[in-house]
């Protein structure tokens, strides 16, 4: 997970650096074009005017994201809506866990949510509004405070108290996420940026649950199971921002766990930063 976040951070930084061009660079590029006659190639990662594009040997300004696109359908691969934030448990409307759920006590600043989209299909009505359905992945990592081990293959969500101390005790879920997005953008300013607002429903299909522990006695251990996480979760989301960065929030209506009566009413709320609308 750390490697994935590091790789994404490097990619974002690289895309920002290469997007910049000084006057000297522009002059140098013009000279290179004159002398080497580079062939300019634009590769579309799907079909339709709304899909991402890669410009190869292009010395002119990139207007891919600033053009006022005509109405129409589009489908393609993407790497966008990268969410990086905090996850919070809500116990029957309260941010304080009930006595039955105290074993899930967690470190708020180390309990995280991370996700991104990889496919997108949509329809643009005009330059300001479009709708699309996308597919991606979403992880929730709960950093437990207590030295406990959540049990696998148990009839309900249960745990055992351990006699050793864990320097890390993480309880995680991973989902395939499928959001339906209603997208609005304002007019561009003089720098080519604009305000964006995206909201809609989202469903998630459980891929896996995991307990990851680190201790001096046992080293690093990982245990996989569904841990009674909801097989299908349903919620809503909102994203808003300016340029490539913004804020997001997600709330899921159904319980985090199923077939486990003591966890009835325990829900998941996430919020944080989002990159690449």
pLDDT at 48: 67
E-only strand ranges, 226-276: 232-242, 245-252, 266-275
pLDDT (mean) for 156-169:
97
> Whole-angstrom Cα distance, residue 76 to residue 64?
15
**Tens digit of each residue's pLDDT (9 = 90 or more) over 215-239:** 999 999 999 999 999 999 999 999 9
What's the first-to-final CA gap in the chain, in angstroms? 22
Token duo for residue 125: 């009505």
- Residue 187, pLDDT > 90, answer no
Tokens 């841990």 -> residue: 227
- Strand, coil or helix: 204: strand
| 255-270 exposure pattern, b = at least 16 Cβ within 10 A, e = fewer | bbbbebeebeebbbbb
> Whole-angstrom Cα distance, residue 122 to residue 230?
28
- Residue 15, pLDDT > 60, answer no
pLDDT at 244: 86
């Amino acid at each position: 997970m750390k490697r994935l976040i590091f790789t994404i951070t490097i990619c974002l930084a690289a895309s920002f650096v290469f997007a910049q061009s000084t006057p000297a660079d522009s002059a140098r590029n013009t000279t290179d074009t004159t002398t080497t006659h580079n062939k300019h190639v634009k590769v579309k990662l799907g079909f339709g005017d709304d899909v991402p594009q890669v410009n190869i040997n292009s010395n002119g300004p990139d207007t891919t994201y600033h053009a006022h696109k005509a109405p129409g359908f589009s489908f393609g691969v993407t790497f966008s809506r990268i969410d990086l934030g905090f996850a919070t448990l809500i116990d029957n409307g309260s941010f304080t866990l009930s006595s039955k759920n105290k074993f899930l006590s967690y470190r708020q600043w180390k309990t995280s949510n991370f996700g991104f989209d990889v496919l997108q299909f949509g329809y643009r009505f005009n330059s300001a509004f479009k709708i699309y359905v996308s597919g991606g992945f979403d992880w929730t990592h709960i950093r437990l405070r207590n030295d406990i081990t959540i049990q696998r293959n148990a009839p309900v969500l249960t745990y055992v108290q351990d006699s050793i101390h864990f320097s890390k005790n993480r309880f995680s879920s991973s989902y395939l996420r499928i959001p339906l997005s209603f997208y609005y953008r304002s007019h561009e300013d003089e720098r080519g940026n604009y305000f964006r607002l995206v909201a809609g429903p989202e469903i998630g299909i459980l891929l896996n649950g995991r307990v990851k522990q680190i201790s001096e006695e046992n080293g690093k251990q990982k245990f996989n199971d569904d841990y009674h996480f909801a097989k299908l979760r349903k919620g809503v989301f909102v994203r808003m921002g300016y340029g490539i960065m913004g804020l997001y929030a997600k709330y899921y209506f159904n319980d985090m766990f199923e077939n486990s009566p003591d966890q009835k009413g325990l829900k998941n709320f996430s919020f944080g930063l989002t990159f690449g609308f």
